[in-house]
């Protein structure tokens, strides 16, 4: 079944791969972007997930032009790594605001009309470090584990309306976000992953496309690892 899908932060990286996979699965896809250019071949809206006004305006624009997005992928996210002794309030809060509160702003606005429609898919992009923790990422890991409680609360609150809510938890993925790691760190990470390598954005996107599909209609409140075995199911 083809539905309208929205992917946030989809101008590059994992978000763009997800947009392409959902399109390949036959969905009509809107990508949201915050800066730069929207990728070609998609419907697009500007959205900064740190602003409620921006999120609400983007949804108003999508609904007016193309109808209700039924598949929502909250993908936009940032890192601001640093050791905790040097982590400022701003370093902590800005990551929570983008990754956790941002996903909340999107999911809250998306579900309003879906309650009446009685179907929908909320898909949050978390991280393996939300379960395992990560030195130098107290802010980021907190934001990603927060997504699990949030997704499961959505699942309980609106499951009776036919809306599923799940978290995909990638391990280390080849994108701009990990391109700053030096060779030594990359080798250490690869050595700690049972599959011995980083993930491609397409490998995350394929799982998101499955969760968005009718075949995944009875999966909700799940934390789905796509991490090469790094988190061993946690």
State in angstroms the smallest separation of the CB of 51 from ligand NDP: 8
In whole angstroms, the minimum distance from the beta carbon of 1 to ligand NDP comes to 26
- In whole angstroms, how close is the CB of 62 to ligand NDP at the nearest point? 15
Given the rule CB under 6 A, which residues bind ligand NDP? 8-9, 11-15, 34-36, 47-50, 75-78, 98, 102, 125, 127, 170, 172-173, 175-178
> Of these residues, 33, 140, 154, 198, which one is catalytic?
140
Considering the complex, state which of residue 154 and residue 172 has its C-beta at the smaller distance from ligand NDP: 172
Least Cβ distance, residue 66 to ligand NDP (angstroms): 19
Is 218 considered catalytic here?
no
User: Of 52 and 178, which has the nearer Cβ to ligand NDP?
Assistant: 178
Task: Report the residue number, 108 or 118, with the smaller CB distance to ligand NDP.
Answer: 108
Query: Toward ligand NDP, which CB reaches closer, 18 or 163?
Result: 18
- Alpha carbon distance 158, 195 (integer Å): 36
Q: Which is nearer to ligand NDP, 47 or 155 (CB)?
A: 47
- Which DSSP string do the residues of the chain spell out, in sequence order? ---EEEETT-SSHHHHHHHHHHHHTT-EEEEEESSS-PPTTSEEEE--TT-HHHHHHHHHHHHHHH----EEEE---------GGG--HHHHHHHHIIIIIHHHHHHHHHHHHHHHHT-EEEEEE--THHHH--TT-HHHHHHHHHHHHHHHHHHHHHGGGTEEEEEEEE-SBSSGGGTTS-HHHHHHHHHHSTT-SPBPHHHHHHHHHHHHSGGGTT--S-EEEESTTSSTT-
Q: How far is the CB of 156 from ligand NDP (least distance, A)?
A: 23
Q: Which residues are catalytic?
A: 140
């Amino acid at each position: 079944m083809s539905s309208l899908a929205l992917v946030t932060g989809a101008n590059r990286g994992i978000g763009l791969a997800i947009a392409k996979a959902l399109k390949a699965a036959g969905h009509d896809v809107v990508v949201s972007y915050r800066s730069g250019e929207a990728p070609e071949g998609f419907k697009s809206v500007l959205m900064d997930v740190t602003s409620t006004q921006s999120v609400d305006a983007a949804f108003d624009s999508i609904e007016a032009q193309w109808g209700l997005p039924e598949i929502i992928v909250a993908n936009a996210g940032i890192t601001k790594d640093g050791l905790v002794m040097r982590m400022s309030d701003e370093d902590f809060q800005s990551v929570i605001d983008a990754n956790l509160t941002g996903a909340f702003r999107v999911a809250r606005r998306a579900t309003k009309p879906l309650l009446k429609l009685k179907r929908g898919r909320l898909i949050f992009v978390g991280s393996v470090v939300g379960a395992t923790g990560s030195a130098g990422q107290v802010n980021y890991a907190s934001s990603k584990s927060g997504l699990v409680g949030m997704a499961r609360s959505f699942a309980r609150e609106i499951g009776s309306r036919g809306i599923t809510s799940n978290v995909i938890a990638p391990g280390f993925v080849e994108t701009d976000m990990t391109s700053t790691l030096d060779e030594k760190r990359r080798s250490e990470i690869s050595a700690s992953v049972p599959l011995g390598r980083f993930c491609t954005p397409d490998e995350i996107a394929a799982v998101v496309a499955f969760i968005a599909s009718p075949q995944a209609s009875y999966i909700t409140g799940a934390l789905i690892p796509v991490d090469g075995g790094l988190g061993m199911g946690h």
